[in-house]
Amino acid sequence: MDYIVALTHQGLDEDKKLAQQVTGIDFIFGGHTESFLQTPVKENNTYIFQSSFRNQYVGLVPLDQPFDINKHTLVNLDIGYEAKEDTKIKNLVKEFKEKVAKLNSEEDDRIAKSAPKNENTSFKTFPKCSDCHAEQFDFWRKTTHTKALTPLLNAKQMRNKECLGCHSLGLGNPRGFNNINQVAKKRDAKLLLKGEKNPSDWVSLELLEKYLSEIHNHKNLSDTVEIISTKDKKISVSDSISHFDEIWPTIQCENCHETPSDHPFASQTEQKKVSKSVCLKCHTANRAPKWYTSSGKLDQSILDQKFKSIACPSIN
pLDDT confidence of residue 274:
85
C-beta pairs of 147-155 under 8 Å, 24+ apart in sequence: 147/212, 147/213, 147/216, 147/250, 148/249, 148/250, 148/251, 149/205, 149/208, 149/209, 149/212, 149/249, 149/250, 150/209, 150/212, 150/213, 153/205, 153/206, 153/209, 154/79, 155/78, 155/79
What is residue 66's DSSP assignment? S
Distances in Å between the Cα of 67 and the Cα atoms of 6, 53, 121 are: 17, 27, 60
147 touches 140 (CB < 8 A): no
Helix, strand, or coil here: 247?
A: strand
CA 221 – CA 291 distance, rounded (Å):
32
- Per residue of the chain (316 residues), what is the pLDDT tens digit? 788 999 998 888 899 999 999 999 999 998 877 777 878 889 999 999 987 666 667 788 888 777 788 888 877 766 545 556 667 777 787 788 888 888 877 776 665 555 555 454 578 899 999 988 899 999 999 999 999 999 988 888 888 888 888 999 988 887 788 888 889 999 988 888 988 888 899 999 999 999 999 999 999 999 999 998 777 788 999 999 999 999 999 999 988 887 766 676 665 555 567 889 899 989 988 788 889 887 778 999 999 999 999 988 876 5
pLDDT confidence of residue 54:
60
CB atoms near residue 306 (< 10 Å): 17
pLDDT confidence of residue 213:
95
pLDDT confidence of residue 173:
82
66: preceding bond cis by omega (within 30 degrees): yes
pLDDT confidence of residue 296:
77
pLDDT confidence of residue 237:
93
CA 31 – CA 158 distance, rounded (Å):
28
Rounded to two decimals, the pTM is 0.68
46: which strand partners?
43
CA 166 – CA 172 distance, rounded (Å):
11
249: which strand partners?
168
